[in-house]
Amino acid sequence: MLEPLDSLVEVERFLHRKLQSLSRANNLTISEWQLLKRIVGGENTQSVLSSNTSLDVSTLSRQLARLTAKNFLKKEKIPSANAQTRKTISYSISETGKRAFEQMNHDYQVLTQKIFSPWTEEEYNLLKILLNRLDTSLQRTL
More confident residue, 82 or 62: 62
Residue 54 belongs to what domain range?
27-103
Higher pLDDT, 124 or 81: 124
Give the per-residue pLDDT at 33: 97
Q: Is 27 left (phi over 0), alpha (psi -120 to 50) or beta?
A: left
The band of 84, judged by pLDDT with boundaries at 50, 70 and 90, is: low
Q: Give yes or no for residue 6 having a pLDDT over 70.
A: yes
In a domain, 138, yes or no: no
3-class state of residue 10 by DSSP? helix
Please count the other Cβ atoms lying within 10 Å of the Cβ belonging to residue 49: 20
The total number of residues shown for the chain amounts to 142
114 domain-assigned: no
Cβ proximity of 88 and 78 under 8 Å: yes
3-class SS at 96? helix
List C-alpha distances in Å: 125 to 64, 113, 121, 137: 36, 15, 6, 18
Question: For strand 88-93 and strand 73-78, is the pairing parallel, antiparallel, or unpaired?
Answer: antiparallel
Determine contact, residues 126/134, Cβ cutoff 8 Å.
no
Q: Which residues, at least 6 apart from 43, have a Cβ–Cβ distance to it below 8 Å?
A: 49, 52
Is 37 domain-assigned? Answer: yes
pTM of the model: 0.86
In a domain, 80, yes or no: yes
Total tally of structural domains belonging to the chain: 1
Q: Would residue 111 count as lying in a domain?
A: no
Q: What are phi and psi of 28, to 5 degrees?
A: -130, 165
Whether residue 13 lies inside any domain: the answer is no
Q: Residue 63 belongs to a domain with what CATH number? A: 1.10.10.10
- According to the model, what pLDDT value does residue 1 have? 86
